[in-house]
Amino acid sequence: MSASGHTPRSRFSYWLPLVPVAIVFAIAAGWRMSLPGLYMDAVDPDYLVVRILNSSGYEVPAWILPGNYLGERFPILTSLYHSTLQLWLSLPGFLLFGTSLVGLRTIHALFGFAIIWSMYAVLNDREISHAWAAAACAALAVDPAFVYSFRTQNQLSTVPVLWIFLSVLQIDRAMLGPQDSCARHLRLSGFFFGLAVVGYFTFLFFLPAVVGALFTWHQRDNSVSRPGVLRLSTHWVTGLCCGLSFYIVGYVLLAVSQGGLGGLFTYISAMQSRLGAFASQLTLMERVGFAWHQIVAVFSNSWNSALMFGDFTPVPAAPLKLAILLILPVALWVVSEYRNIASRLLRLLLALQLSFFTISLIFGSRLGGHHYVCLLPLSYAALIVGLDCMIRDPTAVPASRSLWMASSVVVLASLIAINVAGDRQMTAKLGETHGVGLYSDAINHFAEDLLQSKRDHFLILPDWGLYMPIAFLTGANIQISTDEDISAAKHFLCHKRNVSVALISGDRAARFSGWQQRLAWKAPIVEDYRQFHGKVVFQVGTFVADSASCVQ
């Protein structure tokens, strides 16, 4: 029975298997949530919530498209390629938890569980047993490549996979459900796909697979002619346009701010040249190799390890995990096609991954591992659907189906064991290091110090990496500038406000000396902010206010 047709009793049986999955994921996601430190991209665009919650607070330097920061408080598009949809969906959580690091990671973990649920919903809608679907979800719930994505910048390009699963769910219901509900499900599918693209532009890479599904998934009696399919596709496109409304509104606001369509296209052209989105010089084969390397790094968790600890350390038995998630689903599809038992859902899940991989080649080395994390949940779903095809093969003898069931249990158990070992590996390294560099908890300690003893300081953060996490963790209660504005700093010093300058890169001593010379002020009091094992991550130099030192 599909999830859409639940009775009260079936609803209970539907949700019950998810309870242990939720508990397992809560344990994995909740372990020492304040570690590692809050990286800048891991809180973009969530840092902008501080102005929504604290209207009387200081203005926050905002990376926002022109015209998209309504009232200097309400953001729409932060860039040409992603929006603030996730921030707005998180707003109830921020109202409840505030702008604390644990609160932020709790909210991000809830998005993670929403992805797990959406995968479960898709699997159950195809009559895969609740327990079998929950087992696949449990394997994903303990995968460190998935769990720790929500403590890094990966979260921004992972969350929209929720909408992809829901889009697939609605396509499935449109094509296999009653005729009178087909149009509604197609509009919902398009709407959810639009939300995914609004979440991050790379989700547009899935479009060819979805378009292919729309033109090949006919009703069960195969009576839909090509004109009928085109009419049905119109419903999907209608939903898509609604889902893309964030982009539509944002680009209209950008056009208005640039004086019209001409200004809009000039701005987009200039930004694309600056970003170099298509500037990769790799050959086609090099692009294939690069994309594959990124996928391997993500699936083996060496990508998260590199971000948080500065080393590419894969999970134990990584080759086996890669074989299970990347090779086995394709092999199962080949066998099921040969036996004429392939599931439409399996075809679509694999087509989605192929579509994403193929279009990503256009951008070459301009993409990173975080762009490929969205493929991880899709691989889990494809694996379980492929195994289910073999277990339920109507042409197989009972002994063969029993063998496939036993083999499937071994595969899932192996995957869970690898993931648990990977989790233990990550928790051990996290406990030992607390994160390194800009992932260290030095940033957390700096925010605490600001709130405790430096609330009235004028804070200058000229280097990339500090201002977003500090703005978020201090809740717009600290006046922050990212510009090296000497006149503003001198003004505050002469009006009894200390000025603190935080420096990350370069010869920090020489840079502080340069600040002192330009301010014509006494030397700053310099504090070191170190990662757990003592290495200095950044320094904060505080110039002490002294009106007597001001030249009148």
Both 206 and 303 in one domain: the answer is yes
Q: Which of 408, 433, 458 is the last residue of a domain?
A: 433
Instruction: Return d(Cα 393, Cα 409) in angstroms, integer.
Output: 17
Both 371 and 484 in one domain: the answer is no
Does the residue 82 lie in any domain?
no
Taken in order 250, 251, 252, 254, is the CA torsion positive or negative?
A: positive
Does the residue 411 lie in any domain?
yes
Does the residue 321 lie in any domain?
yes
Query: Could you say which residues of the chain have pLDDT below 50?
Result: 1-4, 219-221, 223-227
Q: State pLDDT tens for residues 152-205.
A: 999 999 999 999 999 999 998 888 777 778 889 999 999 999 999 999 999 999
Does the residue 511 lie in any domain?
yes
Both 366 and 515 in one domain: the answer is no
Both 491 and 383 in one domain: the answer is no
Whole-number pLDDT of residue 342: 86
Q: How many domains does the chain have?
A: 2
Both 402 and 446 in one domain: the answer is no
Both 328 and 448 in one domain: the answer is no
- Count CB neighbours of 141 within 10 A: 28
- Count CB neighbours of 13 within 10 A: 13
Does the residue 539 lie in any domain?
yes
Q: Which of 433, 464, 494 is the last residue of a domain?
A: 433
Distances from the Cα of 286 to the Cα of 264, 283, 300, 361, 363, angstroms? 34, 5, 21, 9, 12
Both 124 and 193 in one domain: the answer is yes
Both 178 and 239 in one domain: the answer is yes
Does the residue 210 lie in any domain?
yes
Whole-number pLDDT of residue 223: 47
Both 414 and 448 in one domain: the answer is no
User: Residues 298, 356: contact at Cβ < 8 Å?
Assistant: no
- Count CB neighbours of 138 within 10 A: 23
Instruction: Kindly state the tokens that stand for 303.
Output: 């990508």
Alpha carbon 118 to chain centroid, angstroms? 16
Both 302 and 373 in one domain: the answer is yes
Does the residue 506 lie in any domain?
yes
Q: Which of 414, 433, 452 is the last residue of a domain?
A: 433
Both 373 and 448 in one domain: the answer is no
Both 396 and 447 in one domain: the answer is no
* Full domain range(s) for residue 464: 441-549
Does the residue 129 lie in any domain?
yes
